C-alpha cells in the first residue's frame, strides 16, 4: 500500500508541474498579446519567389533577447516551415501553425546565429531575421535544411537595407 501512495504522489506532482507550465504559457501569451501586434498575413499576390528554403521555424523572440520567446498567436510553436523571399517580404509558411508575413521594409537585419529560444547550436547554423512589428523589434529564427542558402538570404536582405526602402 505504501508503494501505491508514493506512485500517486509522484503522478500528482507531475500533473501539477504540467498544469503550472500550461498556465504560465497562457499567462505569457495573454500579456504579450497586449504588446505584440498580430503578425501580418501573407498577401494573396506576393509576387515572384526570389529565394526559397525549407527547414524548421524555431521561434520568434524580442530582438537582442534570445531567450524571451514570443508565444502569443501561435508564434511560440516550433514547426516545419518553408521560407520564401518575395520582392515585398518573406513568407513564413508553417505546417500546423499560422503562416505569417515579414514585410521587407520592416527587416532591420539578417544574420547567422548559434542560439534562439528553443535551439542552441555549437556553430552559427541558424538564420535569424530581425524585424519591426509595430513598436516591437523581433528576431525570428529558422534552421534551414541547406545551410548554404544562408549567405543568399543575408545578401538579399542586406541589399534592401542599402537601398533604404522596399523594392
CB under 8 Å to 145, separation ≥6 — which residues? Answer: 53, 54, 55
Q: How far apart are the first and last CA of the chain?
A: 73
CB under 8 Å to 117, separation ≥6 — which residues? Answer: 58, 59, 61, 66, 67, 68, 69, 141
CA neighbours within 13 Å on the CB side: how many for 92?
31
- The pLDDT of residue 162: 41
Number of separate domains in the chain: 2
The reply to whether 74 falls in a domain is yes
- The pLDDT of residue 18: 94
The reply to whether 40 falls in a domain is no
Note down the domain range covering 61.
51-163
Q: Is the pLDDT of residue 77 over 90?
A: no
Q: Is the pLDDT of residue 165 over 70?
A: no
- Higher-scoring residue by pLDDT: 165, 94: 94
**What does each C-alpha distance from 23 to 29, 68, 113 come to in angstroms?**
10, 17, 31
The reply to whether 119 falls in a domain is yes
- CATH number of 112's domain: 2.30.29.30
Query: pLDDT (tens digit, 9 = 90+) per residue, 8-51?
Result: 999 999 999 999 988 887 887 777 777 788 899 999 998 899 99
Entry pTM: 0.79
Residues belonging to the chain: 167
Do 21 and 88 have their domain in common?
no
Q: Is the pLDDT of residue 163 over 60?
A: no
Query: pLDDT (tens digit, 9 = 90+) per residue, 95-142?
Result: 888 999 999 999 999 999 999 988 888 888 999 999 999 889 999 999
- The pLDDT confidence band at residue 83, using thresholds 50, 70 and 90, is very high
Residue 117 three-state SS: coil
- The pLDDT confidence band at residue 161, using thresholds 50, 70 and 90, is very low
The reply to whether 45 falls in a domain is no
The reply to whether 159 falls in a domain is yes
Do 13 and 89 have their domain in common?
no
The reply to whether 43 falls in a domain is no
Amino acid at each position: 500500500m505504501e508503494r501505491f501512495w508514493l506512485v500517486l504522489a509522484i503522478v500528482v506532482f507531475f500533473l501539477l508541474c504540467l498544469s503550472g507550465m500550461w498556465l504560465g504559457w497562457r499567462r505569457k501569451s495573454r500579456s504579450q498579446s497586449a504588446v505584440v501586434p498580430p503578425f501580418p498575413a501573407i498577401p494573396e499576390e506576393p509576387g515572384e519567389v526570389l529565394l526559397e528554403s525549407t527547414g524548421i521555424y524555431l521561434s520568434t523572440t524580442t530582438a537582442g533577447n534570445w531567450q524571451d520567446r514570443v508565444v502569443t498567436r501561435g508564434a511560440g510553436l516550433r514547426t516545419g516551415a518553408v521560407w520564401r523571399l518575395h520582392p515585398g517580404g518573406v513568407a513564413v509558411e508553417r505546417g500546423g501553425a499560422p503562416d505569417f508575413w515579414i514585410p521587407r521594409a520592416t527587416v532591420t537585419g539578417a544574420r547567422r546565429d548559434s542560439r534562439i529560444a528553443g535551439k542552441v547550436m555549437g556553430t552559427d547554423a541558424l538564420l535569424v531575421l530581425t524585424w519591426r512589428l509595430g513598436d516591437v523589434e523581433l528576431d525570428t529564427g529558422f534552421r534551414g535544411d541547406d545551410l548554404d542558402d544562408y549567405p543568399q538570404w543575408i545578401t538579399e536582405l542586406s541589399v534592401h537595407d542599402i537601398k533604404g526602402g522596399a523594392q
